[in-house]
């Protein structure tokens, strides 16, 4: 009887824990519905970090949510959470929080021009200090991403009731950033 109960428990756990339609060949990548995503990198001025996080969540995100094809996003930072000691976010020289301070790091198996060097060239080290936040947002398809900028002002007006979205952003948002740039990526499934 114990063996039967064990097998029944295994079946029940599998039924409860496995997603519907999952198969052994399902991808280990997170489920992203959109075909494209945008990475915005920002260097938020010192002392404006909490303001930036609130502004994005309460002022910009509701505007994005009004644009057809927006499928969500998230915010990330290279700034450690308050109260943490460096040992709490030390993931080793190959996995620093944010860009590394060295461009050339030991890494087994890496090749350069067909020659095994066992050294990675981490080009993000050149970017060190140029950004402290990323906002990543997902878009259903190329058409919806192409509509982002043209639809932004109307979505802003719908959410905030003001016609001058870009003027307000210039005054209130971009003035609190040292830099900002966007990169677009296509999702591979």
101: which residues sit within 8 A by CB, 6+ positions away? 125, 128
147 with 162, same domain: the answer is yes
**pTM listed for this prediction:** 0.77
Higher pLDDT, 5 or 44: 44
* Structure confidence by residue, pLDDT tens digits, 110-169: 998 999 999 999 898 889 999 999 999 999 999 999 999 999 999 999 999 998 999 999
**Residue 9 maps to a domain:** no
Residue 156 and residue 121 in one domain: no
pLDDT tens, position by position, 67-94: 999 999 999 999 988 878 878 888 888 8
Same domain assignment for residues 139 and 180? yes
Within this chain, do residues 63 and 103 fall inside the same structural domain, yes or no? no
Full domain range(s) for residue 74: 30-78+131-186
Name the pLDDT band for 39 (thresholds 50, 70, 90). very high
Do 173 and 156 lie in one domain? The reply is yes
């Amino acid at each position: 009887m114990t063996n039967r109960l064990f097998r029944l428990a295994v079946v029940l756990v599998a039924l409860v824990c496995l997603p519907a339609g999952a198969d052994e060949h399902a991808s280990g990548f997170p489920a992203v519905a959109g075909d494209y995503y945008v990475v915005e990198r920002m260097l938020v001025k010192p002392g404006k970090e909490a303001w930036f996080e609130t502004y994005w969540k309460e002022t910009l995100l509701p505007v994005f949510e009004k644009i057809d094809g927006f499928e969500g996003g998230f915010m990330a930072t290279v700034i450690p959470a308050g109260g943490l000691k460096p040992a709490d976010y030390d993931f080793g020289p190959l996995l620093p929080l944010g860009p590394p301070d060295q461009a050339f790091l030991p890494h087994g198996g890496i090749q350069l021009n067909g020659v095994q060097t066992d050294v990675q060239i981490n080009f993000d080290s050149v970017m060190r200090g140029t950004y402290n936040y990323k906002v990543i947002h997902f878009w259903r398809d190329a058409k919806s991403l192409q509509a982002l900028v043209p639809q932004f002002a109307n979505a802003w007006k719908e959410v905030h009731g003001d016609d001058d979205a870009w003027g307000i952003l210039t005054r209130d948002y971009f003035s609190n950033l040292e830099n900002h740039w966007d990169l677009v990526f296509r999702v591979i499934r």
